[in-house]
Amino acid sequence: MLNLSNSETDGNVNFSKFKAYSTIVNRNMHRLLSKILLGTSIFLLILLFFPWTQTIESKGYVTTLRPGQRPQTIQSPIPGRIEEWYVREGDYVEKGDTILRISEVKNEYFDPLLIERTGDQIASKSNSVKAYEQKTEALKNQLASARKERILKLEQTRNKLKQAKLKIVSDSISLKAAEVNLDIAIRQYDRIKELYEEGLKSRLDYETKQSKLQETQAKVIDLESKLLTSKNELLNARMEINRIEAEYANKISKIESDISSTVSTKFDTEAQVSKLENSLSNYEIRRGLYFVRAPQDGYINKAIISGIGETFKEGEKLVNIMPKGYEIAVETYVDPIDLPLIGIGDHVRVQFDGWPAIVFSGWPNASYGTYGSEVVAIENFISDNGKYRILLAPDPDSEHEWPDALRVGSGARTLALLEDVPIWYEIWRKLNGFPPNYYPKTQQKEAGEKAK
C-alpha cells in the first residue's frame, strides 16, 4: 500500500509480532544460507575434478553365442496339407521326434503305389538294357564271322586269280607251241606242194600235209580262244575280289552301324533307368517328408500354421522351436562413431531387464546388479538400424555369473568401459558432442579390472 500521508506509523505499529518480519529481519538466516551456497559451490567445484569412467551405452537383447542354438522355425521342403499334430505348444521334443504329419496337395504324387510302379518301370527298363547288351554281343559275333568270311572269300578268289594267271601262262605256251607247229606245217605243206607239182610226191602225201596244216591252224585258233578265255577268267577273278571287298565292306558297315545303334539305344535306356532311379529316390525321400520331425532337442514355442487341413507352400514356416541347450550371449548395437573404440576381448558391463540394478555409468565400481562380459564378435557391415552389431559373451573372470533364469529375447543395457577422465572434461565433451577418448588395450584391461 502506498504511503501518501506525511504522518509516520513506525512508532505506532509493532512489527515484531509478525513472523514474516522476524524472518526477513533475522540476519543469521542470511549468513547460514550464504554458507550453504558457498559450501555447495565448493563441493561442486571439487566434484568436477573427480574421476569419471567414460562408457559407451547401448541397448540390445539376450541371444545365443552359436547360431545353431538360436530359436528357429521348422519348414517343409514340399507343399502339403496338415493332417495331424503330435505335440502341443510348450512340449519338449528330442531330435527326430515327430511334430506333425502332412499329406500331398500335388496330383502327380496322389498315387499310393507310385513307388512300386516306378520300381516296376525300372525293372522293365533294366531288362531292356540286358536285351540290348545281348543284341550287341550277337551283332559283334556276326561282325567277327563276316570278317572271317571275307578273309576266306578273298583268299579263295585270289587263288582263282593265281590259277587264271597260271592258265594264261599255260595257254600262252601252248599257243606258242601251236604257232611253231603251224609254221612247220606250212613249210612242210609248201615243200610237199612243190614236190607234188613236180611229180615227186603222190597226191595222197600232198592231201595228208594239207589236212595236217588245217588241223594245226585249227589248233592255233582254239588255243587263242582258250587264251582269251583265260584272260577273261583273270579279269573275272579281279572283279570278284573287288565285288567281295565291296560286298563285305557294306555288310560289315551295316553290322557296325547296327552295333552303334544298339549301343546308343542301350545308353539311352540306361539314362532312362538312372532317371527313374532318381525319381524313385525322390519319391522315397518325399514320402519320408510327410512327417515333420524335430531337428534338435528343444521346446515347441509356437505353431505358426495350426489348423487341421490347412495347406501351405514349400519353405513356409510351420512351427517355432527353441533349442534345449544354448550358451547365453548379448547382442547389442553401437554407433559408427564409437565402433573404433571397441575391440575383441574388451570388457562390457551388462544390465538385464527384470533384474534390479543401480547403475552409475561414470562410476562402475559403485554400480550394483550389472554383470561382466567381453566382446567376442564385431560385425563388419552396418545393420539396417544404422549401427554396428556386437556380440557379448559372459566374462569368465567376472565376479558374478549371469542369471540362470535369463531367456533368449529379453532386453539388455550395456556399458562399455573406456578411459577415466575428470567430470568437468566429460561434461565439456558431452556439450561439444565429441567421442570418448581412445586408449591402448592394456589400459582398457586395467579399467575392466577396476570395474570388477
* Residue 86, domain CATH: 2.40.50.100
- Alpha carbon distance 331, 344 (integer Å): 14
Q: What cell does 209 get?
A: 600235209
- Selected residue with higher pLDDT from 267 and 436: 267
Pairing of strands 298-303, 80-85: unpaired
DSSP 38-68: HHHHHHHHHHTTSEEEEEEEEEEEEEESSGG
pTM of the model: 0.56
Q: Which helix (H) or strand (E) holds 301?
A: strand 298-303
Is residue 213 in a domain? yes
pLDDT of residue 370: 76
Among the listed ranges 289-303, 337-351, 385-399, which one has the minimum average pLDDT value? 337-351
Q: What cell does 350 get?
A: 551388462
Q: What cell does 153 get?
A: 572269300
Same domain for 141 and 226, yes or no, is yes
CA 198 to chain CA centroid, nearest Å: 123
Most confidently modeled range among 175-184, 276-285, 376-385: 276-285
Q: What cell does 201 get?
A: 610226191
- What is the amino acid identity at position 312? F
- Selected residue with higher pLDDT from 82 and 25: 82
DSSP state of 15: G
Classify burial at 164, counting beta carbons within 10 Å of its beta carbon; exposed 0-12, middle 13-18, buried 19 or more.
buried
Same domain for 246 and 124, yes or no, is yes
Q: Which helix (H) or strand (E) holds 161?
A: helix 114-198
Cell 593265281 sits on residue: 162
Please report the sign of the dihedral spanned by the C-alpha atoms of residue 267, residue 272, residue 277, residue 281: positive
- Alpha carbon distance 140, 232 (integer Å): 38
Helices (H) then strands (E): counts for the chain: 6, 14
Same domain for 157 and 257, yes or no, is yes
- CATH number of the structural domain spanning residue 154: 1.10.287
Is residue 440 in a domain? yes
Same domain for 256 and 369, yes or no, is no
The domain in which residue 18 lies consists of 13-47
> Percentage of the chain surpassing pLDDT 90?
24
Cα–Cα distances (Å) from 84 to 96, 290, 294, 315, 316, in that order, read 17, 11, 15, 19, 17
Q: What is the pLDDT of residues 91-108, one digit of tens each?
A: 999 999 999 999 999 888
Last residue of one domain, picked from the residues 288, 306, 337: 288
Q: What is the pLDDT of residues 223-253, one digit of tens each?
A: 888 888 888 988 888 898 899 899 989 999 9
pLDDT of residue 445: 46
The pLDDT of 135-161, averaged and rounded, is 90
In the chain, the number of structural domains is 4
Same domain for 297 and 243, yes or no, is no
Is residue 6 in a domain? no
